[in-house]
Amino acid sequence: MVKPCLVTLFLVLGIVTAGPANAADDSPTRTLGEAKDVNACLNCHDDPAVTSILHTAHAVKGDARTAFGAEGCQSCHGASDAHMAKPREGQPRPPPSVVFSGPHVSPVAARNQVCLGCHEGGARMHWQGSQHETSDIACTSCHTSHPVNDAVLAKKTQAPVCFSCHAEQRAANLKPSHHPVIEGLMACSDCHNPHGSPTSHMLKGATVNDTCYACHDEKRGPFLWEHAPVQEDCTICHTPHGSIQPTLLKERIPYLCQNCHDESAHNSQPFSGANLPTGSSPGRVMVLRSCLNCHTEVHGSNHPSGVRLER
Ligand code: HEC
Ligand code: HEC
Ligand code: HEC
Ligand code: HEC
Ligand code: HEC
Ligand code: HEC
Ligand code: HEC
Ligand code: HEC
Ligand code: HEC
Ligand code: HEC
């Protein structure tokens, strides 16, 4: 989109300016097309917060995919000739075509179009229609391009970027039982593809369970004796982000289990001495690990006599 008009510009330039059309030329008279020369921008933008981009993947001139060699800063900021020219008397300097931050920031769609121009497909295959895309989130809401380290790419620094909008998940991560995300050992993007996915909640796996199996493969089975809800969806019992219950459980045991299992099988009224069921007593059901005192293999059992998930 940008290229053809620049080509035209260069043609015009060849006619209008008698001087060499060499972009690297250091001549003080600024000409159109010079905008392609990185140094021309750096003449005015020598702030380290801007020049740091020269040390990133985007400024590898030898990498034709970055277009930095050919287009320079304009590979992202678009045509900037008007921006570089001397502003008219009393007029403000017009910004470059695409501005990613500050008061003259371009519309989200225009900013995203620049990035997607080189990064469509791959991990971004499901960007269109994703919750982030439809909520008008920009690539640059998460990514920075000038700093040498883009915080969102590293496990240690990613979560705060997400937390800036997802306060609920931040609160969950501060609960006693949580995946080691705030500790920097895991990232949100271990379970989610923030660019979108065909799975609900932008999960990385084809299902919730497939997402979990990536690290908890021992829960996959098949088991000789399966526990139906485990095969169905781990989040029936666990919450992924954080819980005040141990092991990320959604609810305290025995109540968690009793959402599905009738209390009449094992009486769990702590102080009712009456009607003790056979093979059990309220005490043994309620103390210590409750149901897990006996049913230890809650994810499934491979023991020949593990039908009751006790071994
Ligand atoms: C002659 C000096 C000069 C040159 C050359 C120059 N800029 Fe600027 N640029 C400025 C000034 C001054 C501002 C601040 C404008 C303002 O605050 O209104 C600015 C602001 C910007 C901004 C922020 C936009 C905004 O309005 O907030 C971007 C992005 C930018 N320049 C990119 C570039 C790029 C890319 C080039 C090279 C193609 C370039 N500049 C060349 C002087 C220059
Ligand atoms: C002209 C093409 C081009 C444009 C435009 C572009 N990129 Fe890139 N980007 C690249 C190339 C090439 C790489 C290096 C890929 C590699 O090494 O495999 C890269 C790398 C990246 C990386 C990984 C960096 C790293 O250190 O691993 C991120 C993140 C990224 N780009 C985001 C963006 C965002 C956000 C935008 C829009 C502001 C953008 N890109 C615009 C070509 C482009
Ligand atoms: C909600 C935050 C978020 C948004 C919005 C976002 N990204 Fe990313 N991006 C990430 C995270 C997190 C990673 C690291 C993924 C990982 O480690 O698996 C990443 C990685 C990347 C990478 C490098 C790895 C790769 O997949 O090649 C590129 C390139 C990239 N994003 C481009 C984009 C572009 C283009 C957009 C806009 C269309 C965009 N991102 C929008 C969070 C985001
Ligand atoms: C890969 C795309 C990309 C390239 C290439 C690029 N920029 Fe940027 N630029 C951005 C993004 C994104 C921002 C918003 C801040 C950030 O992410 O670091 C930005 C912000 C800026 C700003 C405004 C700083 C502020 O106040 O936020 C200036 C000025 C600027 N760029 C100048 C340049 C110059 C000069 C070059 C060439 C040396 C350049 N940019 C190359 C993507 C790019
Ligand atoms: C261990 C995997 C895992 C990690 C790590 C993870 N998530 Fe999730 N996330 C899920 C699952 C599974 C869901 C589906 C909803 C559910 O069942 O609770 C979900 C749902 C969500 C939702 C939708 C609302 C909700 O809570 O249901 C948001 C937003 C979200 N996650 C953001 C994040 C952020 C931000 C991080 C990093 C701080 C993160 N997630 C880390 C697995 C994970
Ligand atoms: C600029 C704000 C912003 C940032 C930063 C951001 N998100 Fe989001 N995210 C949203 C909005 C808005 C939605 C859609 C509304 C909603 O569901 O909360 C969303 C939706 C989601 C969902 C789907 C929620 C659902 O209900 O299915 C997940 C998962 C998610 N974000 C994860 C992340 C992760 C992981 C990061 C960091 C890599 C991140 N987000 C960074 C704003 C943001
Ligand atoms: C990227 C790897 C990864 C993925 C994917 C993953 N986990 Fe984890 N999980 C971990 C790590 C690491 C721990 C912490 C282990 C430790 O502390 O010893 C953990 C711990 C747990 C714990 C025990 C927490 C505690 O407090 O003891 C549960 C329960 C759990 N994960 C469930 C899930 C569920 C459900 C999913 C899918 C939604 C999932 N995990 C996806 C890596 C992962
Ligand atoms: C029927 C409820 C239930 C379902 C469904 C369930 N779990 Fe659990 N999970 C538990 C209970 C109860 C514990 C605590 C076990 C203990 O303390 O001995 C636990 C503990 C864990 C632990 C930490 C201790 C360990 O055994 O490694 C991980 C990891 C875990 N579950 C992962 C998963 C995954 C992955 C899934 C989905 C495949 C899943 N769970 C489905 C009830 C469930
Ligand atoms: C979402 C519902 C659900 C939850 C929650 C649940 N279970 Fe189950 N459980 C089932 C189903 C369904 C079966 C299979 C019943 C059948 O085959 O008749 C089952 C089977 C069992 C069995 C084997 C019983 C038999 O008849 O062979 C035991 C033991 C068991 N569950 C214990 C637990 C414990 C302990 C918990 C709490 C940690 C728990 N369950 C949580 C639904 C659940
Ligand atoms: C003291 C050990 C013990 C504790 C504690 C215990 N169970 Fe059991 N459970 C058993 C035994 C033994 C059986 C097999 C009884 C039978 O075959 O008649 C059993 C059978 C079951 C069954 C199979 C069907 C049925 O109703 O007989 C389910 C479901 C079950 N227990 C769920 C639970 C739940 C839920 C809890 C916690 C509220 C729990 N158990 C606590 C020992 C225990």
pTM: 0.93
Q: Tell me the residue range of the domain where 231 lies.
A: 221-293
The verdict on residue 31 lying in a domain is yes
Rounded to whole angstroms, the Cα distance separating 284 from 93 reads: 78
**Which residues are 175's β-sheet partners?**
none
| Closest atom of ligand 7 to CA, residue 208 | 38
The verdict on residue 212 lying in a domain is no
The DSSP 8-state label assigned to residue 287 in this structure reads: S
Domain boundary among 50, 84, 118: 84
The 3-state DSSP class for residue 272 equals: coil
The model's pLDDT over 212-247, given as tens digits with 9 standing for 90+, comes to 999 999 999 999 999 999 999 999 999 999 999 999
Determine the distance separating the centroid of ligand 5 and the alpha carbon of 241, expressed in angstroms: 6
**Which residues are 238's β-sheet partners?**
249
**Dihedral (CA of 201, 204, 205, 210) sign:** negative
CB-neighbour burial class of residue 263 (10 A; exposed 0-12, middle 13-18, buried 19+)? middle
The model's pLDDT over 124-143, given as tens digits with 9 standing for 90+, comes to 999 999 999 999 999 999 99
The verdict on residue 125 lying in a domain is no
The pLDDT of residue 18: 34
Pocket of ligand 10 (CB under 6 A): 254, 257-258, 261, 265-266, 268, 279-280, 284-285, 290-291, 293-295, 308
Least confident of 11-15, 146-150, 176-180, 305-309: 11-15
The verdict on residue 37 lying in a domain is yes
Residue among 175, 167, 173 nearest 191 (CA): 173
The DSSP 8-state label assigned to residue 95 in this structure reads: P
Specify whether the CB–CB gap between 10 and 33 falls below 8 A.
yes
* 222 token code pair: 């098949």
Does residue 251 surpass a pLDDT of 50? yes
User: Distance of CA 265 to CAs 236, 270, 282, Å?
Assistant: 21, 15, 11
Burial 158-183 (b: 16+ CB within 10 A, else e): bbebbbeeeeebbebbeeeebbebbe
The model's pLDDT over 160-204, given as tens digits with 9 standing for 90+, comes to 999 999 999 999 999 999 999 999 999 999 999 999 999 999 999
The verdict on residue 126 lying in a domain is no
The verdict on residue 142 lying in a domain is no
Domain count, the chain: 2
Domain boundary among 57, 84, 111: 84
Rounded to whole angstroms, the Cα distance separating 63 from 250 reads: 49
Pocket of ligand 3 (CB under 6 A): 112, 115-116, 119, 122-124, 127, 132, 137, 139, 141-143, 152-153, 158, 189, 194-195
User: Distance of CA 49 to CAs 27, 147, 149, 152, 224, Å?
Assistant: 26, 7, 12, 18, 60
Higher-scoring residue by pLDDT: 283, 101? 101
Q: Which protein residue has the closest C-alpha to ligand 9 atom 3?
A: 260
The pLDDT of residue 222: 94
* Contact partners, residue 139, CB within 8 Å, separation at least 6: 111, 112, 115, 116, 119
Across the range 46-54, mean pLDDT stands at 97
Specify whether the CB–CB gap between 153 and 64 falls below 8 A.
no
Domain boundary among 45, 67, 84: 84
Does residue 25 surpass a pLDDT of 50? no
3-state helix, strand, coil in the chain (%, to 5): 40, 5, 55
In the predicted model, what is the mean pLDDT of the chain? Answer: 87
Mutate to test the pocket of ligand 9, among 231, 257, 311 (most ligand atoms within 8 A of CB): 257
- Maximum Cα–Cα distance for the chain, whole Å? 105
The verdict on residue 189 lying in a domain is no
The pLDDT of residue 278: 52
Rounded to whole angstroms, the Cα distance separating 89 from 87 reads: 6
| Closest atom of ligand 9 to CA, residue 236 | 1
